[in-house]
Structure formats: C-alpha cells, structure tokens
Amino acid sequence: MATGTLVTRGRKYLGMVLTVVGALLIAYAIVTGGVVGSITGAVAYAATVGWLCVMIGPWLWYGEVPRTVLERVRAEVARLKRAER
C-alpha cells in the first residue's frame, strides 16, 4: 500500500471521528443547557470545541466544508470587499 493512500485513509477516519465527536459534544451542550437552564463554563467550551470539530471534520472526511458555511463565508467576504471600496 502506498503512503499516499494511508494518509488519505487516515484523514478520512480522523474527519469521521471529529464529526461524530463534535456532534456528540454539541448534543451534550444542548441537553445540559436545557436541564440546567444555561450553557456556561465547561459546557460552553465543550460546545465550542464541538462546533469546531463539526466544521473541520467534514473537510477532512469529504474534502470540503459544508456547502452552506462555504457560501456564507464567500458572501461575507464579498460584502466586506464591496464595503472597502
């Protein structure tokens, strides 16, 4: 097996794990926030890390970020460039 395929396979598995872990962390934050009534402290950090994992995971897994996020970022960059002129 070539090194390139091992790296690609490793990236895909890492992306899969990050996506699942991120989704679990976000679900934990939502459930804990609903029970306690607020998302603060360590739960807020868990939600933030979960969100980052959900954004980075699909990029590693599929090779791209979720389409809606990409479109929003492009629209925001275009808006900022128009505002500078």
Who's near 61: CB < 8 A, 6+ residues apart? Answer: 11, 12, 15, 16, 18, 19
31 has a pLDDT exceeding 80: yes
Q: Which residue has the higher pLDDT, 15 or 63?
A: 15
pLDDT at 71: 81
Mean pLDDT of the chain: 84
Give residue 27's pLDDT: 94
Mean pLDDT of 43-60: 90
Residue-wise pLDDT tens digits, 4-29:
677 778 888 998 999 999 999 999 99
Assess whether pLDDT exceeds 80 at residue 47: yes
